Structure 1
Amino acid sequence: MATTRRAAKQAASPSNSKTEPMASAAASTAAPRNSPFIPTPIERLFLAVFPVVLVFGTVYSVLSPETRAARYDPVSQSHSQDPTAAPSYFAQKSNVFNVFFVKRGWAWITGAFAAFVFTHPSTAVAPRRLRASLRWVAVTSLWFFVTQWCFGPPIIDRGFRWTGGRCEFANREVEMGDTSIGEMVTSMACKAAGGKWKGGHDISGHVFLLTLGTAFLMQEVGWPILRWSGWLTEERSVVMSDGALKSAHVEAQEPVGQGAGRPPLGLGGNFALGVMGLNVWMLLMTAIYFHTWFEKFTGLLTATTAFYIVYILPRFVPGIRQIIGLPGI
């Protein structure tokens, strides 16, 4: 009987020895999913461009003899606008890139988005284009509330007033006895009336615009191309309606790699890439020549918050994701 039991164990042991390594190998190859509450590793890599550019530009402005020697006006958040005294062509607000690109920044960003979404084969599915358009509406609304109007003054101007800022009287109005200019609540109205917007904390609108617009295009162009070309299967995780954590791939309408072997960017993608590149360059110029470090930091923080609301929040709130979806899905 004892011999029979030993034979049975020996017969069983080979299969166990084969099964256990297979199980352990499967366990070792099953990588844990990325958290849906934070950007994925590849997203963090690209988002790191913004703080790196701002830090580099701020340090450069301190170390550069030309920039350090130029007079800085805290009211206009810039160096001298006299072309003979400005430390660089890009330090002048009248430079062609600032006037025709940054000042019309959201129009360029919108044009790049539309050129990609409505021409690239990765977004040819109608529901995908509709959801991409809804995300554009969401991001544009946040940009509008921060910089243009938010049931009254925009958030940037409200923050300026809340931190003690006001419109300094213009000489002409003071001489005429009109002191109402001091109570104006928007920087645009103040400057149009000849006053100076000073005394409070001014969130950098340029940093906000350039950061949010570039991050928006990174998402709307990057993820569709990565999945369509097959360069990346999927890193994003989503929380399902039942609370389960799954790969975002489960909600995809098409498999990964449909465009493998074909030119990945296309005309729309190249245009968007050019706009993103110019955005980053002008962000660097802003970091070097305009605003204090804290104004740039709050501009970056405000843009990051808007990005999180539109692109990270839907990953763990299924109700929002069902409406605006995820790029490339």
Structure 2
Amino acid sequence: MYGLCRSYLSCTTTSTRAAIYFILVLFLSVFNENEVWDTMLASKSNYLNVYMVKWSWAWTSAAVGGYLLTRASSRTNGVSLRHLTNIFLQIALGTTVWYVFAVQLFPVVEEGTGVCKLSEFNNKRSCRKAGYNWTRFDISGHCFLLLWNILFTLENIQHQLAASRKEENNEKKSNGSTLETFSNIQLYFISLLTMIWEIMLVSTALHFHTTAEKVFGCLVALFAWILIYRILPVPKIEII
């Protein structure tokens, strides 16, 4: 089970998977623009959307942060201040990306590009309250957030899995089999989360938003990932 999860999370580089996800969303969006799918996932009230996707950053940050802390705790020297600082930095950067784009910027774009069917209403709240449609450019927050969750997870987890392989090759032993077992269980959960995010990314590409809105959402996630992990870049967490 551990080997299967490790292979699933590290079978390709993050860059390759980012390209695959973007091309997949673009392809599905373009060729299914006018299709209507009568499936459970086509409903915004489906359980995965309500309880997982809408809270996806909380799930992802808690799962990845918890895994990194457990892995650091299982090392011979325990958790150092450097480990805690680096883990906090990763979670803080990820949360900043979520907050700046999903919470602050996207609603501003939606409001600024919106037009009410009846021109006397100049904001979404008053337009919808009056019973009219608010037509706007609604950047896909789902595409942005789901892709960002996956890329954030892979950047942090793949590095730890590579370190684990080095330890195995060097026959290094960690401290505390209980913690090691718990970290494996956490890895199973992270694999499950990643799979759910992938399924919901495909679902969003098939069922919701226009092609431009979905592509733009993905591009914002890719921009944040490239900026943080390729241009800056943020130091990887070394847990040895």
CA displacement 1:223-274 (0-9 Å, x = unmatched) = 111123229x9xxxxxxxxxxxxxxxxxxxxxx88469x8896122221111
Partner of 2:114: 165
The answer as to 2:154 corresponding to 1:183 is no
Please report how far the alpha carbon of residue 135 of structure 1 lies from its aligned counterpart in structure 2 after TM superposition. 1.8
Contact 2:110 2:137 in 1 (8 A): yes
Identity %: 24
Q: What does the per-residue CA deviation read over 1:122-146, in whole Å, with 9 as the maximum and x for residues that have no partner?
A: 8854212321211211121121111
- 134, 137, 143: which one pairs with 1:197? 134
Contiguous gaps of at least 5 residues in structure 2: 1-11, 175-179
**Does 1:269 find its partner at 2:187?**
yes
* One of 138, 147, 172 as aligned partner of 1:211: 147
Aligned to 1:299: 217
Distance 2:129 2:157 in 1: 38
CA 1:309–1:93 in 2, change beyond 3 Å: closer, same or farther?
same
Q: Distance in 2 between matches of 1:56 and 1:288?
A: 10
Greater relative contact order, per chain length (Cα 8 Å cut-off, separation 6+): 2
Output one character per residue of 1:187-207: Cα deviation in whole Å (capped at 9) or x when no partner.
x78767866431x32211000
Change (3 A) 1:230 1:48: farther
2:98 and 2:68 mapped to 1: Cα distance? 20
- For residue 284 of structure 1, report the CA deviation from its aligned partner: 0.5
CA distance in 2, matches of 1:110, 1:274: 14
SS at match of 2:32: helix
Q: Please give the TM-score of this superposition, normalised by the length of structure 2.
A: 0.76
User: Does the aligned pair in 1 maintain the 2:18–2:222 contact within 8 Å?
Assistant: no
- The 3 A distance-change label for structure 1 pair 263 and 286 is same
* CA shift digits 1:60-100 (9 cap, x unpaired): 635xxxx72x3xxxxxxxxxxxxxxx621111111111111
Q: Work out whether 1:93 is the aligned partner of 2:44.
A: yes
Asked whether the 8 Å contact 1:101–1:108 carries over to 2, the reply is yes
CA distance in 2, matches of 1:268, 1:192: 45
1:174-195 CA deviation, whole Å, 9 max, x = no partner?
Answer: 9xxxx5x5235xxx78767866
Q: Which has the larger radius of gyration?
A: 1
- Is 1:155 the counterpart of 2:92? The answer is no
Aligned counterparts of 2:129 and 2:200: Cα–Cα separation in 1? 26
1:120 touches 1:269 (CA, 8 Å); kept in 2?
A: no
How many residues align? The count is 219
* 2:68 aligned partner: 117
Query: Structure 1 residues 272, 259: CA separation in 2 closer, same or farther (over 3 Å shift)?
Result: farther
The equivalent residue for 2:92 is 137
Deviations 1:17-62 (A, max 9, x none): xxxxxxxxxxxxxxxxxxxxxxxx8232222231143134335635
- 2:56, 2:145 within 8 Å by CA — same for their partners in 1? yes
In 1, the alpha carbon distance for the partners of 2:50 and 2:71 equals 30
Question: Which residue identity lines up with residue 220 of structure 2 in the other structure?
Answer: T
Question: What TM-score, normalized to structure 1?
Answer: 0.57
Q: Root-mean-square deviation (CA), in Å?
A: 3.3
Residue aligned with 2:122, SS: helix
Q: 1:285 aligns with which of 203, 208, 211?
A: 203
Residue in structure 2 matching 1:311, options 214, 229, 232:
229
- Tell me if 1:46 matches 2:1: no
2:13 match: secondary structure: helix
More helix by share: 2
Contact 1:228 1:258 in 2 (8 A): no
Unaligned runs of 5+ in 1: 1-40, 71-85, 149-153, 234-255, 316-320
Given that residues 140 and 216 in structure 2 are in contact (C-alpha distance below 8 angstroms), is that contact kept between their aligned partners in structure 1? Answer: yes
Q: Tell me, what secondary structure is at the counterpart of 2:138?
A: coil
Quote how far apart the aligned CAs of 1:309 are.
2.3
Residues 144 and 217 in structure 2, CA contact (< 8 A), matched pair in contact too: yes
